[in-house]
Amino acid sequence: MTDGGDASAPDELRIAVLASGTGTNLQAILDGPHAEPDSGARVVAVASDKPGARALRRAAELGIETGVFPRSDFVDRAGRDDALADWIESRDVGLVVLAGYMQLLSPGFVERFRWRLINVHPALLPAFPGLDAIGQALAEGVRVTGVTVHFVDEGVDSGPIILQRAVPVPADRDRPTLEEGIHATEHALLPEAVRLFAAGAVRHETGSRVVEVGPA
């Protein structure tokens, strides 16, 4: 199920990324500030529900440990998520990033990684949560949509917001053009959120949904 290995500096933020698809957001993180050896943060594990996910190949090519957790290998979703959480925790991970991970996570998983679990979503939440956010935005006729990076809670794309960036909808409402703009924005915003988290610049008050993002 796994391969690879590593040795971290003592105070390094160890990051796990979960991805179901092509992994361009994973690649953006790998190419971002965390590619530098002394950046203080490093992707140490990549897991997927899809054995053939390109994201896994991107990780393996860099010698990053990979794990595959298909739903069909487990009795139920909670069992799969328990095994996935154990796998992540045993690697001493301080941040879990959902980068195109297309599975709902069970409440038990969310609880184990609360305030250490972030997701990138292709809309300005709370508008257009769930599947096909770009299609939802086009169908609604909005002039501006965007990208959100947020902490994950038990709901669907409903957790506290860390960063957002707007993307204009093209005048001709051309979907490929909008997708290109959204994806380019994701590839900038997600590594930036990871950088800020690693620097200790992402803070929240107990009991509040409002996340403060500022200097470390």
Give the residue numbers marked as catalytic.
Answer: 121
Other beta carbons within 10 Å of 41: 22
Least Cβ distance, residue 19 to ligand GRF (angstroms)? 5
Separation of first and last alpha carbons in the chain: 37
Give 29 or 198: the residue with its C-beta nearer to ligand GRF: 29
Catalogue the E-assigned strands of the chain. 13-18, 41-48, 65-68, 95-98, 117-121, 144-151, 161-168, 202-204, 211-213
Phi, psi of 103, deg, nearest 5 = -115, 140
64 vs 141: CA distance, rounded Å? 42
Closer to ligand GRF at the Cβ: 165 or 183? 183
Toward ligand GRF, which CB reaches closer, 13 or 125?
Answer: 125
Q: Which residue is nearest to ligand GRF (CB)?
A: 100
Both tokens of 128, joined, read 């257009």
**CA-based nearest residue to 168, from 187, 189, 143:** 143
Cβ closer to ligand GRF: 25 or 145? 25
Min. distance of Cβ 57 from ligand GRF in angstroms?
12
Q: Which single residue is written with the structure tokens 């988290």? A: 197
By the criterion CB under 6 A, which residues form the site for ligand GRF? 19, 21-25, 99-100, 120-122, 183, 186
Q: C-beta of 81: minimal distance to ligand GRF in Å?
A: 18
Shortest Cβ 127–ligand GRF spacing (Å): 14
